[in-house]
Amino acid sequence: MTDNTSLHRAFFALHHGLPRQGPGSDDTTRRLLSLVGALPERPRVLDLGCGPGRSALLLAAEAGAEVTAVDLHEPFLDELRAAAEARGLAGSITAVNADMGELPHPDGSFDLVWAESSAYGIGFDTALRSWRRLLAPGGALVLTECEWTSAEPSATARAFWERHYTLRTGEENVRAATGAGYSVLGVHPQPESDWEEYYGPLAARADAADPGAPGMAEALAATREELAMRREHGAEYGYTGYVLRPVDSWPTRPETSADVPAVRAVNAAAFGTEAEADLVDALRTDPEAWLPGLSYVAEAPDGSVAAHALITRCRVGGAPALALAPVATLPEHQGSGAGSAVVHAVLDAARARGERIVLVLGHPSYYPRFGFKPASGYGIRPGFEVPDEAMMALALHGSDDSAQLPRGTITYPATFGV
């Protein structure tokens, strides 16, 4: 049996000098950065679990960022310092040996907290909770997480990951993010090439390693098992990047069967009529319209339902789309942020499902805050007369996806009566 010190040294001997310490690419870093949106001219970035600093170098060079790069392994930080010096970025990157779970930085210190392939070190949920305080107003958290991409992972893949890290689905991770008080600005499933960029050099290093070195035989066995798992079961799991921004502190979650009476009461009180409440109840029984997991509530401090937002299936030109309706907030909670929180949450859940577009017929001074624009700009129109500015659409994956959106006339479920 190899002692832990020898195994630890052998593991890092395999990894020293590799360009990456987890699946990723410069293209993925740029894509995630683009999803953040506008940043200050010289953003303050905290790169956690930075390894040799590939992301830190790009953020400093291309975003003009002042990067604090944190890792517990000093040799990785030395690699980063040397690379920063060689690229003329030494004044933009500060390498710090620290534990990402016990960070010394004051609250509100950073415009961007970044963690590619590293949040697993403390766990996704812990990262969401503990790193939020570090963000300045308007700041964003960017992290990547390994998750199931198959609805039914094989027993072999499950057994492997149960020994290493608990994987969840993308929908479960979005639910965790929104439940922790974040809005999901963007989701980026990482391509297979990101794995190749990490595993290619690692496999070559393993082939060249001396199995007789202390701890190396065990380190090589674990590495080759990991490589074989990806080769044979890679379609079942993958890394996804999440771009998150804290929102007002209204907890949100999918409705449960126990919430049905409260959801009805919220809709009736918000609209002053039973019509919208009846519509929600009817949609719940319509299998062509109802999408489990896309009826969301916001909770008041006492745990009661303060607001509700519903997304159901509709069609545009015969292609699947989504309709946001109704959105309701109890009168005593209107203007408090509860409605915005529940709309953000249900849109995030739709985004995580891989849906492309959501339509809403609503007030043109309210819904643009969520990214909605006139649907006519996408070549989408309702089958009835409404002011152009009131019929809006949201491309869930940003303007880069607009060419893939359906065009034509909106068809609502018969339950809507339009």
In order, the DSSP letters of 361-390 are: ES-TTTGGGGT-EEGGGGTEE-SS---GGG
Between helices 170-179 and 124-131, what is the axis angle to 10°?
30
Q: Return the number of other C-beta atoms located less than 10 Å from residue 278's C-beta.
A: 14
Asked whether the beta carbons of 299 and 250 are under 8 A apart, the reply is: yes
Among residues 184, 164, 165, the alpha carbon closest in space to that of 174 is found at 184
Distance CA 105, CA 70 (A): 11
Helix (H) or strand (E) holding 108: none
Cβ of 400: how many Cβ atoms within 10 Å?
11
Q: What is the pTM of this model?
A: 0.71
Q: What pLDDT is recorded for position 265? A: 98
Determine the pLDDT at residue 248: 62
Residue 400 is predicted with a pLDDT of: 54
Residue ranges per domain, the chain? 4-246, 252-416
pLDDT of residue 249: 65
333: its two tokens: 């909670």
> How far from the centroid of its chain's Cα atoms is residue 221's Cα?
33
The predicted structure's pLDDT at residue 250: 82
Residue 98's nearest CA partner among 71, 122, 73 is: 71
- Which tokens belong to 42? 């010289």
pLDDT given at position 402: 66
Given this model, what pLDDT does residue 286 score?
95
CATH class held by domain 252-416: alpha beta
pLDDT at 1: 45
Show the tokens assigned to 194: 């990101």
Half-sphere exposure of 368 (CA within 13 A, CB side): 7
Tokens of 262: 């409260």
**Fold for the domain defined by 4-246:** Rossmann fold (3.40.50)
With a cut of 70, which residues of the chain have pLDDT below it? 1-3, 248-249, 399-402
Q: Is 88 left (phi over 0), alpha (psi -120 to 50) or beta?
A: left
Distance CA 32, CA 59 (A): 11
Q: Where are the alpha helices (DSSP H) in 100-215?
A: 124-131, 155-162, 170-179, 192-208
- Three-point CA angle 58, 108, 252, nearest 5°: 95
